[in-house]
Structure 1
Amino acid sequence: MTAYFPAVRLRRATFVGALCAGLAVVATGCGADPDEGTNGVGKLSAEQIEGKAKTAATQARSVHLSGTLVTGGKSFTLDMRLGADGGSGEVKSQDDTTFQLLRVGEQLYLKAGAAFWGQSEAAGKLGDKFVKVPEGDPSYKQFRGFTDMHVLLDGLLGLDGTLAKGDYTKVGHTRAVQVTAEKGAGGKLSVSLEGTPYPLLMERAGGAGRVVLAEWGKPVELTPPAQDQTVDYGSQLPTTKEQGSGSAQPAPKGSGKGTAPKG
């Protein structure tokens, strides 16, 4: 009898050790600390994690934003590099029309194929050229929104409803913790557990898009296009002239009426 209990304990310890190793469980039940080596935000409440992520995003000077966004009933695929003084990248609308945007300071340029400009007489001249968008044109503010880091982030990083801390996960190779709203129905935000707690992945409520946020703080090179690649069309773009200067919804073909992303 004296040898029986130590043997049972030994077998039990061996079984538990094998179970933890076999399942690769990273949890306190198997003796490992899931927050070991992290920035510690995983120990905070869901509200605190969201707050940390928003603060980090607000203070950042640049970000690479890519993914899908549904707004105003229209779907866009974005691939934008955004900095404090502008941004550049590509936007693709749901009808497969693609346009490029470049903003350097307040100078905004739009580049697209001739089909983007519809039946305009100038379509052939504008196709595949950087067209300078006049600040007075009704489309300027809408297109500029795609190149404005803080406008995009303010609209994207919103969770709707009661928050809860979700699972530990990975976005790419970076460990992250999820914050969910209304069990995911109000959106999911994955926040980095490594270094600065930047937002890494935003899954918007109601299936309104899924956006990856990466390369936080990486310099964004913004250079105006060469003069021979630029067309300055004066005070208004040709498609908006047809609608009158008071039009609030310019509609170059495939542009989604120029509507900038909003919450």
Structure 2
Amino acid sequence: MTAIPQGSTRRATLVSATCALVVTGAALAGCGSDDPDAGTNGVGKLSPEQIQSRTRTAAKSAAAVRLSGTVVTSGRTYTLDMRLKDDGGTGSVTSKGATFRLLRIGEQLYLKADADFWDHADGSDGDAAAAGKLDGKYVKVPQGDPAHKKFSGFTDKDVLLDGLLTLHGTLATDGHYEQSGVRTIRITGDKGSGGTLDVSLEGKPYPLRLARGGGAGTLRFSEWGKDFAVTEPAKGETVDYGKQLPTS
């Protein structure tokens, strides 16, 4: 029997130890299974254009989703925590320190906020008595009211996702990552200046995290396909404002 040189044994031990280490997002190359897409849904092997197309299709086909994070639009930052599905949505929105709730059932949008929100909704001191009547109530938002156009998009799954899940500029892949314990592939627009999107490599290729280009907010997506109920608020909790709402 030929003896194994002691140095070879040391080298073999060192290689085994090195292969036990894992780099965040991907295994070290050259260590047994060096394919970061092994056991995944395979989208990591696609072009960035194909990945973006697949994730948009998956998102559109999902019955429901939860969306949380920030969106910056027209210089104003909104912090969202919304649950959305095809026929409605519900959740909270915070802007300029004020938090209000939105509820949409079909075409009917409701807005629920405290008296201070309504008293200063138009940027000035309003009618405190009128604001008190709206305090903590689900206020029906007329479809022709500017507030309906402004806020209904936050409750519309297709409108919101269509507007968000498009990266701008030249697309590229930017490695393997992990979001909440789920392996992802990241794609970017213009090296990140046009946004970055993490797409699940497990199960359906749902989007899990979006960083919008130009610092326009960061959003996380979860609870894909998990249904929830949207029900009309009780009559005692509802106010029909009957005219154009104060500008918020």
Q: TM-score, normalised by structure 1?
A: 0.85
| Structure 2 segments unaligned to the other structure (5+ residues) | 121-125
Aligned residue number for residue 261 of structure 1: none
Determine if the alignment matches structure 1 residue 91 to structure 2 residue 84: no
Percent identity (aligned): 57
8 Å CA contact retained: 1:136, 1:235:
no
Q: Give the Cα separation in 2 of the matches to 1:102 and 1:40.
A: 37
- SS of equivalent to 1:30: coil
Which residue matches 1:211? 219
> 2:123 maps to which residue?
none
SS of 1:101 mapped into structure 2: strand
- Deviation of 1:64 after TM superposition, in Å, equals 0.1
Bigger shift: residues 72-81 or 12-21: 12-21
The Cα RMSD (Å) is 1.7
Looking at structure 1, the residues matched to 78 and 6 of structure 2 have their Cα atoms a distance apart, in angstroms, of: 64
Query: Aligned residue for 2:102?
Result: 101
Give the match for residue 64 of structure 1: 66
Match of 1:75 in 2: 77
Q: What letter corresponds to residue 180 of structure 1 in structure 2?
A: T
CA positional deviation for 1:40 = 0.8
2:52 corresponds to which of 47, 50, 53: 50
Residue 7 of structure 1: how far off its partner (Å): 4.6
Instruction: State the number of aligned residues.
Output: 237
Instruction: Give me the whole-angstrom Cα distance separating, in 2, the residues matched to 1:149 and 1:136.
Output: 21
What is the aligned partner in structure 1 of residue 158 from structure 2?
Answer: 150
Residue 32 of structure 2 aligns with which residue?
A: 31
CA deviation vs aligned residue, 1:209-259 (integer Å, no higher than 9, x gap): 00001111110210010000000111422x2xxxxxxxxxxx22xxxxxxx
1:141 matched to 2:155? The reply is: no
The one-letter code of the counterpart of 1:96 is G
Write the letter of the residue equivalent to 2:155.
T
Contact 1:163-1:180 within 8 A present in 2 as well: yes
User: What is the CA deviation profile of residues 126-160 of structure 1, one whole-angstrom value per residue up to 9, with x for unaligned ones?
Assistant: 01111011112222122211110111111211211
Residues 19 and 28, structure 2, Cα contact 8 Å, conserved in 1: no
8 A Cα contact 2:63 2:85, kept in partner: yes
Contact 2:176 2:183 survives alignment (8 Å): yes
Give SS of 1:131's match: strand
The answer to whether the 8 Å contact 1:28/1:34 transfers is no
